[in-house]
Structures are given as C-alpha cells and as structure tokens.
Amino acid sequence: MFDLNKEWSISFAGCGFMGIYYVGAASCIVERFPQFFEGASKIYGASAGALMAMILTIGTPLEKSCLDLMSMTRDARKHKLGPLHPAFNLQQLVRDSMTATLPADAHLRASGRLCVSLTRVSDGKNVIVSEFDTREELIQAVLCSCFIPFYCGLIPPTYRGVRYVDGAVSDNLPNCHLRNTVTFSAFAGESDVCPRSAFRLHEVRFNNVSIHVNSQNCYRVASSFFPPEPEGMAEICDNGYLDALRFLQDNGSSQIDLEFIHSLFCYCFAQNLFNLNEIVGLKTRWGMYNATDCNPFTLNLVCVPALCEGCREKHARGSMLSQVRERVHGNMASYLRIPYALPMDSALMLVNRVADWIPELPRGPGWLYGTAGRRHSPAESGEQGDPLT
C-alpha cells in the first residue's frame, strides 16, 4: 500500500518506444489524483523514463508529449529498415521535441527534483544528476540518458564535458530499493505500476527492473526498439491507463469499472471513430449504461486525440484492395531502391551528424550546396568578367 503520510518518490524505468505506456499511465493519474506527481519529493528516470520524469516535473502537457511520440513512431516506421535506417535520427528528434516544448525556466523547475540516470562511458558507473545550470544542460542530460550505443549512433553525447550513454545500461530503475518509492515499468513484473501477466516462466532482473519471462514481454521488448502500428501504440497507451487505474484502486484513490473503459476504447478503434467529438458523444451516451454505482466514467481525452490522429492517417488510404495494392507495389519498389538509395542516405546523414558535432557549422546540408554555389558564382564572389569590346 502507498503511504501518503510519508515522503515519497517516483521512478520510471527505461523502455524506448514503449514510453507511450507511461503517457497513458500518467494521464490517468493526473486526471484522477494529481497530488501524486505534484507531491513527490523526487522523480527518477532512465532513458525513456527520464523523458517522462522530466515532462511530469516541468509540467509539459501530456497531449503534446503523446503527439511527439506518435510522430517519432511514424518517422521510424516509414523507412524499410525502421529505426535502424541512417535517415532516422532519434537523438535529433528528441532534441527538437524538447527544444520546442521546454520553457525558458525548465532547468529551474527541474533542479533538485528531477533525477536522471546516466552511465559514464569512461568507467561504466551509474551517475544520478539532478542539478542543471541552464536549459541546455537539462536537454543534454536527458539526451545522454536516452543514448543507446550503436542504436542511436557511435559517438555518445556529453553532459558538462563528460560523455555518457543510456542510464538503463547501469541502473534502469533508479532508487527502486527505497521503501516509499513508487516504480513504473512498461514490462510485466514486480513494479508498482506495470502490465499484469497471466503466467510467467521465470523472472529476470535487468539492472533493477523485474521482468517476467513470457511471450507478452518478448513483444514489449521488441516494441521498445521497433514500434508497432498506430493501433498497437494506442493499445499500449490504453493498457498504461488501465494499469494506473488498478494502482489507484489498490490504494483507495479511485473506484471505476476497468472492463467498461477497456471495452469503450476497443469499440472506438474498431468502429474507426477518429473524431474527438464523436468519442465525447459516445462517452456521454455509454456513461448511462455503466452498471457499477461508482464515480462517473471519464474517457482519457488527453491521449485519444493524438492516438486517433495517428490511426486516421493509416485508415485514410482508401479501400482494402487499394491498400493491398499499395503495400505490394510499395514494398517491391522500396526493396529495389535499397542497393543504391541506402549508400546515398548514409552519406547524407553522415554530413548532417558531422555538422551537429561541429557547433560552428550551420545545421543541415544546405550550407554545403550554398558554399559550392557561391564559389562558382562570379557575381556573388565579387569577380567581374572583362567586358566585350
């Protein structure tokens, strides 16, 4: 049982693209028991868990985080090699998202309360950082915690001049051993908020995270690196919402019919109800048929718009026959393009990443074409040809 009379902390485990699970869980708790996050003395996180810890500490809107994550998922899936394609730069996408959403005083809000798990490259030791002098330092710390070696690149980012990699490499669930620390994990295990598993063959611990060995967790591990279809992401988010509701129920903070919510989520996606007004109307209509005499049912309106937007793009392609034709032709064309397109994409992304490593260079490859054009243009370089006589 969770004791509100004592000081408590929260810890999020790393889980890659399964971080959409945390969005669903957090939206449920923010909706029904906001004091849980507001009153926590420390919020720890590793990798994707560090992102969620930062979002909750600073107060970034969860709907914006859900939209950004669905956008990253869409970018990852549009390439034939998925996230392993050289054109997919996860670190840059995460940086762009934080740069666009973090307020100017984000480092002041986070210092002393947000604790980010890092792994130092030089000795492999775990380091917990919680003080940030500038907004850029906060961004760099989270980027270091999210850097998976080889998956995200070859050269790790730096925080205060020291290179770090994913905090999950050394401690994937920071301070989970403390008595009043509430743990979140996207994998079924012994964490306080996590999926429930009907059976398990064995239990393993990956850097402090309890993981049951079963087929469902194997799927979740694969989804951490290779995100599923939008409907799969929506289901993961839905499961996070329901598991957080169970946690609140177990601690006496919420009374609601979980099966009723799950059936409504499934109905919305099965009927292709991707319009928010339709969903709100459905919620109102179905609320009268709630058999339990508990608190009024409220649908998770934080995540549904972003999830439905991602699903709408997939279902707006036309009839089933046209989708099959498009998939067959598209796959054949993409496979034929790989032998010559992949080296070109790799070279282009190498130029982009070299430009990122050298701060003096402008971002993107456009500067290269511009420089070449200026060198070969007499008018722009100030050279005048001899007039005809």
pLDDT of residue 314: 52
User: Residue 94 — φ and ψ, nearest 5°?
Assistant: -65, -40
pLDDT of residue 307: 60
pLDDT of residue 199: 73
Which residues are CB-contacts of 108 (< 8 A; sequence separation ≥ 6)?
none
User: Residue 297 — φ and ψ, nearest 5°?
Assistant: -75, 135
Residue type, 172: N
User: Residue 42 — φ and ψ, nearest 5°?
Assistant: -135, 145
Residue 47 falls in the annotated catalytic set: yes
Q: Which of 68, 117, 166, 254 is catalytic?
A: 166
Q: Which of 9, 11, 47, 170 is catalytic?
A: 47
- pLDDT per residue of the chain (389 residues) written in tens, 0 to 9: 556 678 899 999 999 999 999 999 999 898 888 889 999 999 999 999 999 999 999 999 888 888 899 899 989 988 778 888 888 899 999 999 999 999 999 999 999 999 999 999 999 999 999 999 999 999 999 999 999 998 988 889 999 999 999 999 999 999 888 878 999 999 999 999 999 887 777 888 888 999 999 989 999 999 999 999 888 888 898 899 989 988 988 876 554 444 445 555 555 555 444 444 444 444 444 443 333 333 333 445 555 555 655 555 554 444 444 444 444 444 445 544 555 555 655 565 656 656 565 554 454 444 444 544 444 444 444 444 444 43
Residue type, 377: S
pTM of the model: 0.73
Q: Three-state SS across 316-361?
A: CCCCHHHHHHHHHHHHHHHHHHHHHHHHHHHHHHHHHHHHHHCCCC
pLDDT of residue 334: 53
User: Residue 362 class from Cβ within 10 Å (0-12 exposed, 13-18 middle, 19+ buried)?
Assistant: exposed
pLDDT of residue 311: 56
User: Residue 42 class from Cβ within 10 Å (0-12 exposed, 13-18 middle, 19+ buried)?
Assistant: buried
Residue 166 falls in the annotated catalytic set: yes
pLDDT of residue 305: 56
pLDDT of residue 358: 58
Q: Cα separation of 310 and 317, whole Å?
A: 13
User: Residue 15 class from Cβ within 10 Å (0-12 exposed, 13-18 middle, 19+ buried)?
Assistant: buried
Query: What are the start-end ranges of the H helices in the chain?
Result: 20-32, 35-38, 48-58, 62-77, 90-101, 106-110, 135-145, 215-225, 230-250, 258-270, 276-287, 304-315, 320-357, 366-375, 378-381
Question: b/e per residue, 231-263, with b = 16+ CB within 10 A?
Answer: eebbbbbbbbbbbbbebbeebebbebbeebbbe
Q: CB–CB of 57/109 below 8 Å?
A: yes
CA distances from 291 to 237, 257, 284, 296 (A): 25, 8, 14, 11
Written as one string, the DSSP assignment of 241-280 is HHHHHHHHHHTTS----HHHHHHHHHHHHHTT---HHHHH
